[in-house]
Each structure stands twice: as C-alpha cells, then as structure tokens.
A and B are shown apart, each in its own frame.
Chain A
Amino acid sequence: MPMKTRQGAALERKKFFADPAMVTTIALLAVLLALFILYPLAMLLMDSVHVQETETILLETVLSGDADIKYETDESGRKSVRVLDSKNKENLIALDDLTGAYGSLFVKNGRAIRDGDTIDPAKTYIKFDKNYWTLDAFPRIFKDYTFNNAFFNTLKLGMITSFGAVIVGLLFAYVDCYVSVKSRIIKKMFDVVSTLPVVSPPFVLSLSMILLFGRGGLITRKLLGIYDSDVYGLSGIAIVQILTFFPVCYMMLKGLLKNIDPSMEEASRDMGASRWKVFTTVTLPLMLPGLGNAFLVTFIESVADFANPMMIGGSYDTLATTIYLRITGGSYDTTGAAAMAVVLLSITLVLFLIQKYYLEAKTAATLTGKASRARVAITDNSVRIPLTTICSVISAFVILMYIAIPFGALFKLWGRDYSLSLKWFEQLFRDDGFKAFKDSFILSIIAAPITALLSMIISYLVVKKKFHGRGAIEFISMLAMAVPGTVLGVGFIRGFARGVFRTGLLQGIYGSGLILVIVFVIRSLPVGTRSGISALRQIDKSIEESAYDLGAGSTKVFTSVTLPLIKDSFLSGLVTTFVRSITAISAIILLVTPRYLLITCRINEFAEKGAYGVACAYATILIAIVYAAILLMNLCIKYMGTSRRTKVKEID
C-alpha cells in the first residue's frame, strides 16, 4: 500500500490557517524580510547587470535597417520602430512615416523638431529607449584601477586582520582556560578588554590610534620624538581591526577550549608528550574547525568594516570605502558602484555560507562532549610568565587607547597644548551636538524594541513552529549578518530612492527617519535572532505544548509563556540593538539626510577635518551612553530576569 501523508498535511494546513494571528505574523514577516533585505540586494544585483538608458541614433542609420535596435512590424504589416518623443513616451512608428512631419518626435542638434522643419536623415537623430541585460560592468570594473586596487587591498587586509585576530584571540583564550593567572588585576583586565571593543563605537580605536601614534601623536612625537610617523594605511587599519575583532575570536575560542575534555590532554601527557606536543597534537587539531570559524567571522567583519578604513586608511582604499566614494563622489557610475557592491557582497556571502553550513557543523561534530571535570591549570613559570606578559601588554595597550579618547576631548590642542579645558565640549554643544545626540538617541531607541520583539518572534517561529518557508525566514534574517553595511546602504538607495521597483511606491520613506530605523533593525536582527534561537532551543517544547493544550492560542502562548521565559534574551536584544544602532555608521552614512544629524557621522566629519578635539568629545559622550545602557541591562537582568531553569532537580 502506498504511504500517503496527504491527509496529515492537509490537517496541519487546516490547523495552521485556523490560527489567523500566526498566519498574519508570518505573512507580515515574510513581506518585511523580502522588502528590506532581499529586495534591496536583488535591485543591486539587477543594477549591476541591467542597463536602462536612452540613446539617440542617426535617422539615416535607422532607416537603413542596420541600427542596433529592435525592428517590429505594426498592425498594417510595415516595418516599424519604437521611438521616444520629447516627453520620453514610446511610440510605434513605421519606417516610412519617420521622414514625415511628426511634431516633437525627432531630435535635431539636441532639440525636438517642430512641424515645418525640414528633416534631413543624415543630420537628424531619433531617441530610443535602451533596456538590456549585460555582464559588461564586471569586466569593466575589474579593469578599473581604483576598483582593482581596492579589491586586493580588501582581501589583503582581511587576511592580515583575521590571522592577527585569531592568534591574539587564541592566546587570550589559552591563557584564560589553561594558565593559572593569580593576579586578580590581570584577570579583571582580561574581562574589560574582551568586552570593550565589542561594544564601543567602531572608530574609537582608529581615533585614538591617530592621537597616540599619528604625526602629532602623543607617543610617537612627544615621547619618542618621531616626526614623520605614518599610521595611515594598511598597518594602521590592520592594528586597529585586530584590536577591534580579536575579542570576538577570544570569546568563540574560549567556548571551544572549555568543551575540550582535559582527560584527552592528560592522556597525551601521560604517554610522554610535552606541553607543546600536547598543544600541537591534541588541542590544536581539535580546535581547527573552530579556528577556521573564528577566522572567517573576522574576515567577514574586516571586509565589511567601513569606519576604520575611512578614518585611518589614508590612501589605502578598501571596497567599502571605494563604493562609498563612488556613490557620494558624484562620478555617477551607478552600474559600476552596484557591480562593486555585488562583488563585496559575494565575498562576504560565500564566506558566510562556508562558515555557517560547513564549519559550524564541523565544530559541533568534533567537540560534542562536555568537559568531564575542571582542568588543572598550568603553573609552570616558563609557560605562565611569557604568555601572561604578552596578554597583559596587549590589554594595557587597548585600555590606553580608550583612555586617550576622553583626554583627547579634554586637552586644549592635541599635539601642542596639553592643558585641560572643556572647550571642545562647549563647542560641541554650541554647535548642533545636542541635536545629534537627540536624533541618534531617538532613532536608536525606536529601533531597539522593534528589533528585540521581531527577533524573538522570528526565533519562536523558527524553533517552535512547523510551516513552509520556516528555513527561508531563518536564513534571510541571518543573511543580514553577511551583508556589509555599505552594500545594504547602496541597496537601499537603489531600491527606494525612486520607490519600490522605481514606481514611486514607498518613496516617502527614502530620506526619512523611518528608513534609518529600518536599517538599524535589519542590521541588528541577526544578533537578536541568534540569541533568541539559542535561548529557545533550551526550553522544553512541552512547556509550550501544555499551554496550547490548556486552551491558549499561539499569540497567548507567545506572550504568556515563551516571551517571559526568554526575557533575558529579549532584554539583551533590546540593549544590543540600541548600542549597535547608536554606534552604526556604514549603511547609515549613505542614507542619512541633513534632516537628521547622527553622532557617528558627526565624529566621522570632524575627524576627516582634523578636528580631533570635537570628535573625541562626541566619542566620549557616546561611549558613556553605551556603557550606561549596558549597565542598565545588566541590572535589569539581575533583578528582573528569569533564572531560565526549566528542568529542575529533585529536592528531596
């Protein structure tokens, strides 16, 4: 007997559609994701392979039948062409009629011909709409020096940064998990350093790099007396990026190392291996997929980074900055810019796919077990002292860079006059600093709850519900992680500047605050969704089933059971979005209009102008806001959060 699941599937469908709240939510979500993630990227892709322009062709050539246009036949069977009139409207006109008097149809020396003018086919041009698909833009941009240069610069930078970040991250993770660090100050320093760059505005390190090591740098000039120090360029960006991204590697690798069962390493030691041998033959091979994972994540971040190359790159252009300059520089090469964005997107997307579908699975496969017991920390001084020293030096360096920022704002004139004053802060507020803070703050605070709620809803649907397109929704919301901000920005410009599909629909959002909020939401959605999904996976599915069983509909289940259980994740989504939004720059800088002043854009402007004092003043206040938000979140989680204990041990 053939096995048919049709009735079961039909019943599932029936039950599914009997739940209007969920159907509407899914439909809305699908529309949102399609419109604000897929559609802009699709437009970008289309722009890079599609040309739409008008062309004027000599009438003689058209009449000869050799012109590079489409010849058609009209209803009476005569050979005709589609010609644009002066209002750019298409008319189908037979070739025989073209020499006749058709007012305002032909172009002679750039103006439309009027009745009575004589038409000389050898001197008259007619206008055609050209609308074709081509891959020309790609060979063209690869021949373009600026692009080519930027392309290889980006890859080179990505390589250096990822290598550096993974090595530094591994060092920190190793010291944290394996080496006995007695000093509590050093331990505290590790904690601070590992969280600092993750939450700080993107260009803070660049800014302090310039302040400390630049031409007028405190360390280079004042302390070392070097007058021609050049931090602008590859080395500068690489150092700043390594310092910005290594904490992420550190956290990822620390998680891995914690999962390695120490007895494996003890077995190796027991059989006579030295510590170094244990590391190279046991620990390292086990971590290899994880290291690859960390490498790719950093690579994506580095390639997508806009703020640091912009600020400290000097003439070292990367793809992200080149695209930005193409768009804002007035060269008006939209197809070219779109093609560049597509190239950048392809790089990050391929890496993202490898990372997500290959390495993540592999990492999980090699390290399945939990450590059976605690690891005996290395107390051997020949290992301990050098490793701890290196880590401490790096930590001290990072902390120093952060301290430089408020001082940059407090010193009268960096490089010349190191007396304290509040003049930069005064200038900031005398300017439109207050408006910048207000705008940034308001837009971010609007984006935060929307993102947090949306990502919880997506996680709920993805983890707990069965429906077609569930995988697609998860994939698309995660996709935004692989889309560089600059690419998203260009996509939004191409997609919404003239409305959806250039029809004028939703054109109103372009240039408004709404589009900025949407970008904030899209940019933070993957982070929130990921944390929501992992939180929900820990919750026994029968808890929600029992709520259904007792008569709750899916909305009620979500609000009364699911959401309270993942409150921590929701709260952290709220704050993460706020922090990410208020410190965002890459996509935003392309979309912001003079109606809104954003802190990050202001910092960028002032730093470009060399007004580091004001830039530092902005950055100082921004850092304060961000830390206040994080502090608030931790307090909230401490006092209001759930303990997330769903499985409970027996007491008696």
Chain B
Amino acid sequence: MISKQKKGVRLDQISKIYIDPKTNKKFYAVNNVSLTIEPGSFVTLLGPSGCGKTTTLRMIAGFESPDEGEIYLGDQPINALMPNKRDTAMVFQSYALFPHYNVYDNVAYGLKLRKVPKDEMNLRIKRILDLVELSGMESRMTNQLSGGQQQRVALARAMVVEPSVLLFDEPLSNLDAKLRVSMRTEIRRIQQTLGITAVYVTHDQAEAMAISDKIIVMNKGVIAQMGTPREIYHHPVSEFVADFIGEVNFLTGNIVKTDGSKCTLKIAEHEVIVDNPDSFPVGKECKVVLRPEAAILADAGALPCKVVLSCFMGAYQNYHVMVGNTLVKLADYCPVGRKTYEVGDTAFLSFREGCVHML
C-alpha cells in the first residue's frame, strides 16, 4: 500500500531549552540528542515524565523548534518547515479526533487537503478502515465510539495519508489495561503490514518492549541508552536504565580475581563467579544487576540469605530475601514441585548462568 520510498529520521545534536515557569530559569528539556531512525523501523522513546521524549517527538512533528541542531527527514533538513508541510502524521494521546466530523470525514480530512481524487480517496479510506477493523462505522460520530475505536480512527486518520513517518504520542495511555495490551499488538501489526517508519513515545516499559525494534531510553533530556529491547533489558548501561526497565535488584561487590571472561566477585563476605564481558580489573567495586527471575533459591548455593517475605502470586512465588544488608526481590516461576521457603528460613541464592550483568 505504501508505494513511495520509505524515509528515516535523523536528529543531529538536537537541544530544546524551556523556561521553568516557577523559577523562571532556563533548562534543557532536550539536551544534545543525536539519533538515527532507520526507514521502516519502529523506534520507541521511553522515559519518565519530563524526560524530553514528547518534546523530541513534537520537534520531529514541527510543533516545537529545536534551539540547537538539525532534524532530517530522509536527507532533507526540515527544521524550518511548518508542521503542515512535513510528511509526518501524528497520533495524539487524546486522539484529537474532530468531534464535528464522523469517522469517514475524520479519516478523509488529510486526503482532502492533499486533493486526492474522490475514487482513490474512497478506496484508500475503505482499505484503511478494513485494516483497523472499523468497516461499517463510517457514518458514526466520534462520540458514539468506544475508547479503543476512537484510537483506531486516530490511527487510520494518520496512516491513510501515507506519511513517511508515523508519530505516536502515548497513544494508549487513555485506555484501560486490557485494551492497551491488545491495541499495542494491533499497532505493531499494522505498522509491520505497511512497513512504515514509526516513532513512538511512552512511559510504559512493557509497551515499549512489546512493540519496538529499538528503544531509546531518555532521562533528564539526554539519551540514557539506545538498543534493542533485549540489549536494554539484559545489558543496561546505567542504574537508571536498569531500574526503569523492569524489576531489578542491585548487589554491590568487589572483584577479587579475574579469569578470562569470568571473574570472582565478593558480595557480603561471600564469593560468586560471574561473567565479566567488560574485563573489569581486580579491586573494582561493581554493581550486579539482578533481575528477579535471574536468581535461584535453593538449599545450597553461593550466597546465604534469609527469607523475609514469601508470597504465592499464581504464576510465580514471590520472595524477599536479605543478602547481608541488601533486600533482594525474587520471582520463582513455575514453583510447582520445588521447595517453597517460608519467612524466617535460611536459603542460598545463586545466579542463573549468563543472566546477570555488572555495572
């Protein structure tokens, strides 16, 4: 359906300065951000509120102008282009449907502006409404639709103009939890069908993981890490990223011995052997990034610990244990047939092979 050449987006050292309305001081909402979004890929900007992700997206759309740097759409610099002259289409958090138009007219809005001939327009609208599964609802007013349906109209309206880049500004945050999960699968499916370049902003890490080819974690206006969901989950570059993506425990230890790709780490007076891909030297103080599911609780192992909470969650047994003075949260999946520890028990913690990461 997308016949024209796909375009990527490139941000070259982009900064945006805002004035804090309370203190009247300037601050960087976005600070020296450079990134390249490959044509046809699905990239997510992820971060807590106020990290600059929405500002970045709005700069790509043209609603904000960067104070430093240049934005490229394909090879074309677009800094000075008005939003209506940019080949982007945005799906808004509030959907921003035109309440005085019905579904058909909402979707047709962009096509009419592009002076698409009537026949082609009808065809394209029909096809896109089929894709978002809203056929037959053309004459409904937008306030007669459910939240999920409105969301799909917004999606159809943005996609029908066949933009080079689709922009999503937290499009699912107004939906309930269940609908959010099914809609994100839907968005991913449609994006893949059309092969369109997409930039997606969210603060929901699960959503980001489920939907993206590449995640860009942002914090305080700068890029904290860029990578595939797998890289970011397993090899976070900082405590912030590790903490932001999923549940995490940090265990502090010192390297006492290195041996090729492995090293011996001393945690709370006990020694454990872990992977050392970054070749940290002996004597370095390290943080072990331990995901709840990456540890095994058993009667024997590397680190002795004391169980302070034990709770059955259905899919897993949830433990809180003390390793020295550090509280570690664990999830033991499929606990059926294994020993269940109770509060007050002493047990041993060991890391699953290849599942921990050191900072």
List the interface of chain A (C-beta within 8 A of B): 3-9, 11-12, 14-15, 18-19, 540, 542-543, 545-553, 556, 560-561, 564-565, 642-643, 645-648, 650-652
Contacts and interface: CB of A to CB of B under 8 A. Distances in A.
B89 interface: yes
Nearest to B105: A560
Given A15-B65, A545-B92, A642 B161 contact: no
Nearest to A557: B84
Interface in B159-216: 161, 176
A6 B67 CA distance: 7
A645 B81 CA distance: 32
B145 A11 contact: no
Q: Which 10 A-B pairs have the closest CB atoms?
A: A11-B65, A550-B110, A8-B67, A542-B96, A546-B96, A650-B147, A542-B92, A548-B83, A551-B113, A648-B143
B66 A548 contact: no
Nearest to A548: B83
B109 interface: yes
B28 interface: yes
B96 A543 contact: yes
Given A14-B80, A546-B96, A547-B109, 18 more contacts: A3-B27, A8-B16, A15-B81, A15-B82, A540-B96, A542-B93, A543-B97, A545-B61, A545-B83, A549-B89, A550-B113, A550-B161, A564-B100, A642-B99, A645-B99, A651-B144, A651-B145, A652-B146
A8 B65 contact: yes
Interface string B34-78: 000000000000000000000000000111111110000000000
Contacts of B61: 545, 549
Contacts of B94: 540, 542, 647
A24 to B, nearest CB: 16
B83 A549 contact: yes
Contact of B84 (A553, A565, A643, A648): A553
Contacts of A546: 90, 92, 96-97, 154, 157
5 contacts: A546-B90, A548-B63, A550-B89, A556-B113, A560-B109
Contacts of B161: 550-551
Interface string B234-259: 00000000000000000000000000
A74 to B, nearest CB: 58
A3 B98 contact: no
Given A3-B17, A5-B67, A11-B65, A549 B146 contact: no
A542 B61 CA distance: 12
B79 interface: yes
A545 B96 contact: yes
A549 B144 CA distance: 24
Nearest to B69: A7
B118 interface: no
Nearest to B18: A5
Interface string B95-132: 01111100000000110011000000000000000000
Contacts of B144: 651
Nearest to A12: B65
Contacts of B85: 18, 551
Contacts of A15: 62, 65, 80-82
Given A545-B92, A550-B113, A565 B147 contact: no
Contacts of B90: 545-546, 549
A8 B58 CA distance: 13
Contacts of A545: 61, 63, 83, 90, 92, 96
A551 B99 contact: no
B68 A7 contact: yes
A651 B65 contact: no
Contacts of A560: 109
A3 B28 contact: yes
A647 B16 CA distance: 30
A548 B82 CA distance: 9
B113 A543 contact: no
Contacts of B100: 564-565, 642
Nearest to B142: A648
A563 to B, nearest CB: 10
Given A15-B62, A540-B96, A549-B89, A7 B83 contact: no
Contacts of A648: 99, 142-143, 145, 150
A551 B65 contact: no
A551 B160 CA distance: 13
Contact-residue bracket for chain B: 35 or more
Nearest to A642: B100
Contacts of B86: 549
A6 B82 CA distance: 18
A14 B147 CA distance: 38
Contacts of A647: 94
Contacts of B147: 650
Among B28, B65, B97, the one with the most A-chain Cβ atoms within 10 Å of its Cβ is B65
A552 B64 CA distance: 17
A633 B90 CA distance: 37
Given A12-B65, A540-B94, A556-B113, A549 B17 contact: no
Contacts of A12: 65
Contacts of A550: 84, 89, 109-110, 113, 157-158, 161
B88 interface: yes
A137 to B, nearest CB: 43
A546 B144 CA distance: 20
Nearest to A18: B82
B26 interface: yes
B79 to A, nearest CB: 6
Contacts of B17: 3-5, 8
Contacts of A547: 98, 109
Contact of A551 (B98, B114, B176): B114
A540 B154 CA distance: 15
A645 B89 CA distance: 24
A14 B77 CA distance: 14
Contacts of A9: 65, 67
Given A3-B17, A7-B66, A556-B113, A543 B146 contact: no
B105 to A, nearest CB: 10
A259 B196 CA distance: 49
A642 B145 CA distance: 17
Contacts of B157: 546, 550
B205 to A, nearest CB: 24
Nearest to A644: B99
A19 B113 CA distance: 16
A643 B142 CA distance: 12
Nearest to A8: B67
Contacts of A14: 80
Nearest to B65: A11
Give the interface centre of A549, A561, A645 by most chain B CB atoms within 10 Å. Answer: A549
A576 B234 CA distance: 66
A15 B85 CA distance: 10
Contacts of A651: 144-146
With most chain A CB atoms within 10 A of its CB, the pick from B27, B64, B90 is B90
A651 B150 CA distance: 11
Contacts of A548: 63, 82-84
A627 to B, nearest CB: 30
B278 to A, nearest CB: 30
B26 A5 contact: yes
B84 to A, nearest CB: 5
